[in-house]
């Protein structure tokens, strides 16, 4: 075989071997310009949290599997079938990609004894992982923002958290979000209700689906949360947990409602609202929109007074919520948002490579004074023609092109061309006067 034939063969082999790699199903790349939406939302959240004096925590994405099994409850959708659990093959540890944020936060609070000096108001944001069937509003890597108040047992913090979320919808410009409220009472009250509920469900056991059959004795409350339309009749006729609440639980519930009423927050009571995790008691709530199809819950939360001790801490009450960032962003888009401007202010055109160092210097000075500036980048074999550089400048969306001609630069000059007004007015400035120009430009941004 000739040398060139050999070369052709090995090239073919190479292309055959290099398979295109794609991302994991249900785990999305967040790319520009969409990423600007994400950052805008995160900024709004940070500002609002600061106004409520909530502090940010950043926690690991991987936790011991036992934390979630113990914390969320063994008979929950998440623990039964949605967790990404694995054994660290280097040391045999059983680990899980966090499916939600509360358990890890409680673990950290206990581990670092954060409640030692009294209660804490905290928030987090970041990716969560659940092995679900990917569809609109449901992904395998998704993102939550959560707010949690630990160490306070009173209804005022439940209401404060709801007001915080309600304010967030306002800041984000979201209407068409409604609030549903319920109380799950205390464990003893739940036990009495549970017996009545099991009796009711057993009477209708023929009508139950496989999942409900399985949960009948392990977690009957969750059956109330079923999405199976065939079960709605049985579930609607079931005994209501609200009717089993004692005076103290009812007083807590009424106090939360009174604060919401006084602050003009509308809600409806949904006696069948139970939430997915086992750890909730007393107040539970969801914010729901009808604009996103069946994945309409954008935020959910409630009180979890027993989770801290379940994770091995000194008993302390707590309450919190988590919102789904993808769903909130989807709703913002649905309501017709305007994407934030991503164009640079200035694009530098440099026809002659000899002018590159000076052009770079000028851009650095512009950036230092707050102007967003993009340098034309060549192919590696020169900078390209003036025409092609102007095309790139236009495509960038920049307001101005700075043209660094070799001759002009030698004379200490640069051309400034407006790219937005049709005519493209052009003038020449001295490099030293550019700082002044940048200043006026900045004040018009």
Positions in the binding site for ligand ATP (CB under 6 A): 100, 130, 132, 137-139, 142, 144, 276, 295, 297-300, 322-324, 326-327
Tokens 């205390």 map to which residue? 186
In angstroms, give the least distance from the CB of 9 to ligand ATP: 47
Which residue has the CB atom at the shortest distance from ligand ATP? 324
In angstroms, give the least distance from the CB of 137 to ligand ATP: 6
Helix 34-51 and helix 155-171: axis angle, to 10°?
140
In angstroms, give the least distance from the CB of 80 to ligand ATP: 12
Nearer to ligand ATP, 139 or 390 (CB): 139
In angstroms, give the least distance from the CB of 325 to ligand ATP: 8
In angstroms, give the least distance from the CB of 110 to ligand ATP: 21
For 57, phi then psi, to 5°, come to -120, 145
Nearer to ligand ATP, 225 or 408 (CB): 225
In angstroms, give the least distance from the CB of 40 to ligand ATP: 19
Nearer to ligand ATP, 143 or 257 (CB): 143
- Tell me the HSE value of 283 on the side-chain side, using a 13 A CA sphere: 32
Nearer to ligand ATP, 122 or 349 (CB): 122
122, two tokens: 């905290």
Nearer to ligand ATP, 120 or 327 (CB): 327
Nearer to ligand ATP, 68 or 400 (CB): 68
Nearer to ligand ATP, 100 or 158 (CB): 100
The candidate with the shortest Cα–Cα distance to 249, out of 300, 196, 192, is 192
In angstroms, give the least distance from the CB of 11 to ligand ATP: 43
In angstroms, give the least distance from the CB of 160 to ligand ATP: 19
Nearer to ligand ATP, 330 or 345 (CB): 330
Q: Are 293 and 137 in contact (CB under 8 A)?
A: yes
In angstroms, give the least distance from the CB of 38 to ligand ATP: 14
Nearer to ligand ATP, 180 or 326 (CB): 326
In angstroms, give the least distance from the CB of 204 to ligand ATP: 24
In angstroms, give the least distance from the CB of 286 to ligand ATP: 7
What is the rounded distance in angstroms from the CA atom of residue 403 to the CA atom of residue 390?
Answer: 9
Nearer to ligand ATP, 129 or 347 (CB): 129
Nearer to ligand ATP, 71 or 405 (CB): 71
Q: How many residues does the chain have?
A: 445
The candidate with the shortest Cα–Cα distance to 234, out of 224, 249, 219, is 224
């Amino acid at each position: 075989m000739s040398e060139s034939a050999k070369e052709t063969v090995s090239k073919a082999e190479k292309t055959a071997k290099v398979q295109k790699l794609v991302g994991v199903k249900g785990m999305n790349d967040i790319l520009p310009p969409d990423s600007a939406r994400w950052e805008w939302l995160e900024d709004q959240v940070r500002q609002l949290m600061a106004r409520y004096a909530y502090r940010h925590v950043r926690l690991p994405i991987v936790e011991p599997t036992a934390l979630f099994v113990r914390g969320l409850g063994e008979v929950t959708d998440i623990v039964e079938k949605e967790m990404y659990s694995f054994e660290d093959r280097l040391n045999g540890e059983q680990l899980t990609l966090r499916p939600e944020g509360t358990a890890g936060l409680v673990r950290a609070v206990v581990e670092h004894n954060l409640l030692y000096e009294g209660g804490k108001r905290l928030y987090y944001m970041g990716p969560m992982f659940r092995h679900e069937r990917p569809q609109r509003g449901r992904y395998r890597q998704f993102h939550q923002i959560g707010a949690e108040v630990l160490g306070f047992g009173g209804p005022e913090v439940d209401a404060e958290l709801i007001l915080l979320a309600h304010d967030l919808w306002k800041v984000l410009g979201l209407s068409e979000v409604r609030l549903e409220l319920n109380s799950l009472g205390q464990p003893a009250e739940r036990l009495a209700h549970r017996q009545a509920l099991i009796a009711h469900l057993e009477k209708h056991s023929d009508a139950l689906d496989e999942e409900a059959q399985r949960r009948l004795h392990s977690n009957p409350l969750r059956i109330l949360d079923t999405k199976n339309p065939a079960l709605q009749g049985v579930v609607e006729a079931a005994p209501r947990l609200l009717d089993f609440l004692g005076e103290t639980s009812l007083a807590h519930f009424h106090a939360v409602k009174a604060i919401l009423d006084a602050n003009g927050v509308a809600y409806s009571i949904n006696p069948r609202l139970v939430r997915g995790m086992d750890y909730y008691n007393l107040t539970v709530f969801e914010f729901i929109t009808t604009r996103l199809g069946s994945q309409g819950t954008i935020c959910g939360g409630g009180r979890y007074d027993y989770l801290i001790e379940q994770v091995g801490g000194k008993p302390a009450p707590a309450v919190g919520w988590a919102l789904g960032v993808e769903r909130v962003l989807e709703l913002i888009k649905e309501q017709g948002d305007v994407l934030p401007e991503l164009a640079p202010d200035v694009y530098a055109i440099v026809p002659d490579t000899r002018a590159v160092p000076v052009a770079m210097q000028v851009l650095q000075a512009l950036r230092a004074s707050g102007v967003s500036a993009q340098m034309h980048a060549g192919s590696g074999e020169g900078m390209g023609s003036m025409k092609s550089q102007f095309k790139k400048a236009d495509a960038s969306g920049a307001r101005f092109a700075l043209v660094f001609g070799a001759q002009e630069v030698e004379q200490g000059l640069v051309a400034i061309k407006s790219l937005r007004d049709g005519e493209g007015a052009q003038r020449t400035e001295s490099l030293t006067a550019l700082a002044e120009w940048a200043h006026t430009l900045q004040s018009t941004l």
